[in-house]
Chains A and B, each alone.
Chain A
Amino acid sequence: MRQYAKYLFLSVLAFAALFPLFYTFVNSFMGAGEFNRYYGALSVGITRHNPLRIIPDWITLEGYREVFISRPHYLMRFWSSMLISGSILVGQLVVAVLGGYAFSRFRFPGCNVLFFLIVLIMMMPLQVTLVPNFIIIEALNLNGTYAALILPGIFSAFGVFLMRQVMQAVPLSLFESAKLDGAKSFAALWYVCLPNCKHGLAALAVLNFADSWNMVEQPLTFLHSALRYPLSVYLINFGSVPPEVVFAGGLLSVLPVMMLFLWFKDEIAFGIEYSVVR
Chain B
Amino acid sequence: MKRIMKIIILSVLAALAVLTFVSRTVYNRNLPRVSIVRVTEDFVPLVLIVETPVTECGECGRVFETEWMEIEDEGELYPYVVPRDGIFYLGHGQYAVYAVGSRRGYFGPEDYVTVINIDILRLNEKSAAIKVSNASGGTELSGAFLARDISGRVNNGDTVWVRER
Chain A, residue nearest B27 (CB): A72
Q: Do A75 and B62 form a contact, CB below 8 Å, given A144-B126, A227-B121, A263-B5?
A: no
Tell me the smallest distance from the CB of B82 to a CB of chain A, in Å.
Answer: 19
Q: Do A76 and B125 form a contact, CB below 8 Å, given A226-B62, A227-B92, A240-B61?
A: no
B63 within 8 A of A: yes
A255 within 8 A of B: yes
Chain B residues whose C-beta falls within 8 Å of the C-beta of A76 in the assembled complex: 20, 24, 120-121
Chain B residues whose C-beta falls within 8 Å of the C-beta of A144 in the assembled complex: 105, 124, 126
Chain B residues whose C-beta falls within 8 Å of the C-beta of A198 in the assembled complex: none
Main secondary structure of the interface of A (DSSP, over half): helix
Chain A, residue nearest B25 (CB): A72
Chain A residues whose C-beta falls within 8 Å of the C-beta of B24 in the assembled complex: 72, 75-76
Tell me the smallest distance from the CB of B105 to a CB of chain A, in Å.
Answer: 6
Q: Is the CB of A259 within 8 A of B9?
A: yes
Chain A residues whose C-beta falls within 8 Å of the C-beta of B9 in the assembled complex: 259, 263
Tell me the smallest distance from the CB of B128 to a CB of chain A, in Å.
Answer: 11
Chain B, residue nearest A82 (CB): B13
CA gap between A266 and B8 in the complex, in Å:
17
Contact with A along B1-30 (1 / 0, CB 8 A): 110011011001000110110111011000
Chain B residues whose C-beta falls within 8 Å of the C-beta of A225 in the assembled complex: 123-125
Q: Which residues of A in the span 209-249 have a Cβ within 8 Å of any Cβ on B?
A: 224-228, 240-242
B77 within 8 A of A: no
Chain B, residue nearest A255 (CB): B12
Chain B residues whose C-beta falls within 8 Å of the C-beta of A71 in the assembled complex: 23, 27
CA gap between A259 and B126 in the complex, in Å:
37
CA gap between A259 and B9 in the complex, in Å:
7
A69 within 8 A of B: yes
Q: Do A227 and B59 form a contact, CB below 8 Å, given A71-B23, A72-B120, A144-B126?
A: yes
Tell me the smallest distance from the CB of A63 to a CB of chain B, in Å.
Answer: 14
Contacts A73-B60, A79-B16, A255-B12 given; 11 further ones with Cβ under 8 A?
A68-B19, A71-B23, A72-B20, A72-B27, A73-B61, A79-B20, A225-B123, A225-B124, A227-B124, A240-B62, A262-B5
26 contacts between A and B (CB under 8 A): A69-B22, A69-B26, A70-B27, A72-B20, A72-B120, A73-B60, A73-B61, A75-B20, A75-B24, A76-B20, A76-B24, A78-B20, A79-B16, A79-B20, A225-B124, A227-B92, A227-B121, A240-B61, A241-B61, A242-B61, A255-B12, A259-B5, A259-B8, A262-B5, A263-B6, A263-B9
A contacts, CB < 8 Å to B: 68-73, 75-76, 78-79, 144, 224-228, 240-242, 255, 259, 262-263, 266
